[in-house]
Structure 1
């Protein structure tokens, strides 16, 4: 049986001291500043792009001439250059919808440091709850052990950690291990086909009549605390002088809000992982709508000449759609289904919620309400749950999929070339 390499990532929380956290902050800001210097050097050369060799030479020279650049490990600096060049390759690739690389803001950028080579990590398990890893210019650091890592312990050389990335979240620093494991190609999944309708009131409605729902991501007390903190931040912003840095008190309030929202995100991601794994194990083919979510959550504000209507209601709908993270649900379903020999197909979205699955009659008036469906065709007259009706239509349309992902070993060939130097 053919073996294929399966690449995965595992995220674990680091146990850092205040001094170690400050050092990582400095490295991350140095990496961000290096990106900005690269962008200026790469693009502002009399209209010509700089060559890769020139960028590498400029980095080496800057590490000798700029003191704070020395905070960043040499491998991490080279990783910044590699990611920057790949960003331009993605931008010029017509098959890759990537935005043009630009400068990174100190206030809005996510702090991160790459450890591209795994040979110096020396990952070891200390006990049931903790592991240890070497970080460049930081030293030996403990991290939360929640899952076995390939290549640690008695694993063979084929199962290994290929690198890592350090990222800062609202509640501290995390390490994301890049792992590689050889696995045999799974046998085709023999489970049934199911259609899934993603919604807000009902998170996932299945064509077999069942649903997958969740409660609020925050408890009542946490939601009340978040509301109070948001009101507090609004009061503090009223006393802020425009153009001046925010005060320490406002920064602390922002940090408290961010930690609560990060808690909600972790709980949502945990539910999505568990639900996607259960669905991928049960069904062989999973059909979902090919939704253009970015267009769905576009603002309805309009312009001065043509102001939008129902702007507040549309804003609330946009927040609700973003909170459900529909795109992430499909991403998780895709790779979990591929691991089990199944596949996910995307079907055209128009008409699925207004079409009767019994007779095929399509009419906006078929939606008697948000949750009820009543076919206006007098010869049919079927009534039932609107979400389940849409899920059945999605399942029936699985044969006309606009795209699909399945085989674990299958890869999509995409030619990505960085821009040439003039």
Structure 2
């Protein structure tokens, strides 16, 4: 409730009563983030940066950032939020962790310093992500085993997440084709059930925070499988990207424009699109695989483990024979079978595309290639 400021009464505590339950550093960091967003938008420091959008309660991810969070060293099972607890000062809390923070403790022993922490909720659980600044270390160098294996071409797709030009060790199995677990598709039936219940319990005209208890119950039931899907997808991506970054000296991928690939096909009223539902399903599968996230992980993991990452033009990689170089779209007989119409070579279509990706990088790296 907002009212006039009384003499002797602190301004924020009187005007905003919810302030008493929030650590001051949370609000200060939120103001700094808002100032950064406005400054970036006004200066146009990044291309495509839009107008700042405020968070809306109930329709955004619950999270906050703050400095001054430390690990309690005696048992590694607690973090201290808000600095040291002192009477009459800022609020400080000790929060118990689900498991000991051994990794964070090792970083602090190496001279790391906690700069910021982001506390967020994913489904029914809360997570703390620490931003730790480490002293400068020498750049990583590829190992002998990585140099011996050389370059690997990676073709990302929907039927299989990745096809590689050389076998990779994944879960102690050597393979060139990594199957797509289809995490979202397997959970869609359960999600659709609670989505229908959530839609039936929505009262038109009310904001989300004023909806019924049944609507919030359905919303909480949907949050848990969504969090599980995100965790399983991240697990698959991290296993793949680490294998590529640690087992080879160079990884080559296609320079895919995911935003253009996942555009809607519905068109306009004057020119309606065709096969809209089929394209929507393809877009859903593309975003479930997350090509952009795989490339982002490869970018920083290759720097960690001494390897390098390269991106090549994806044009005609799946229509070119990796043996004779003949380009013909008819050579790809089915989704997985590629049989060259010129030399008759037969190979899995995605593996052939991975060979073309690696060969295209070698031609680009060679002077005059």
The TM-score by the shorter chain falls in which range? 0.7 to 0.9
Hey, what's the Cα distance between the residues in 1 that align with 2:328 and 2:58? 48
2:347 is matched with which residue? 384
The separation in 1 between residues aligned to 2:215 and 2:363, in whole angstroms, is: 53
Q: Hey, what's the Cα distance between the residues in 1 that align with 2:233 and 2:314?
A: 25
Among 64, 72, 78, the residue aligned to 1:113 = 64
Q: What's the TM-score once normalised by structure 1's chain length?
A: 0.71
What whole-Å deviation, never above 9, does each CA across 1:138-161 have from its counterpart, x for those lacking one?
6111012365244569825x2232
Q: Which ranges in structure 1 are unaligned for 5 or more consecutive residues?
A: 1-59, 403-422
- Give distance in 2, aligned partners of 1:134 and 1:93: 38
8 Å Cα contact 1:233-1:253 kept in structure 2: yes
Q: Assess if the C-alpha contact under 8 Å between 1:347 and 1:400 holds in 2.
A: no
Q: Match for residue 84 of structure 1? A: 34
Aligned to 2:49: 98
Q: How much is the aligned-residue C-alpha RMSD, in angstroms?
A: 2.8
Among candidates 166, 169, 183, match of residue 122 of structure 2: 169
Is 1:135 the equivalent of 2:81? yes
CA contact (8 A) 1:204 1:213 kept: yes
Displacement of 1:360 after TM fit? 2.1
Mapped partners of 2:184, 2:288: distance in 1: 12
Aligned residue-pair number: 331
> Residue 116 of structure 2 aligns to a residue in which SS?
strand
Aligned to 2:309: 344
SS in 2 for 1:161: strand
> Corresponding residue for 1:187?
141
1:63 shift after superposition: 6.2
Is the CA contact (8 Å cut-off) linking 1:161 and 1:178 kept in structure 2? Answer: yes
237 and 387 in structure 1: CA distance in 2 versus 1, 3 angstrom threshold: same
Q: TM-score, normalised by structure 2?
A: 0.80
Distance in 1 (alpha carbons) for counterparts of 2:362 and 2:227? 39
CA contact (8 A) 2:201 2:215 kept: no
Partner of 2:337: 372
What is the correspondence of 1:3-402 to structure 2 with a 5 Å cutoff? 65-91=15-41, 92-93=43-44, 95-118=46-69, 121-124=70-73, 126=75, 131-136=77-82, 137=91, 139-145=93-99, 147-150=101-104, 155=109, 158-182=111-135, 183-189=137-143, 190=147, 191-208=149-166, 210-217=176-183, 223=187, 227-228=189-190, 230-235=192-197, 237-238=199-200, 240-245=202-207, 246-376=211-341, 378=342, 380-399=343-362
Once the two structures are TM-superposed, the CA of residue 304 in structure 1 deviates from its matched residue by 1.3
Q: Distance in 2 between matches of 1:166 and 1:184?
A: 31
Between stretches 386-395 and 256-265, larger displacement belongs to: 256-265
Q: Which runs of 5+ in 2 are unaligned?
A: 1-9, 83-90, 168-175
Per the alignment, do residues 76 and 401 of structure 1 end up closer, same or farther by CA in structure 2, a change over 3 Å counting? farther
Contact 1:149–1:161 (Cα < 8 Å) also in 2: no
SS at match of 1:208: strand
- Whole-angstrom distance in 2 between the partners of 1:400 and 1:100: 42
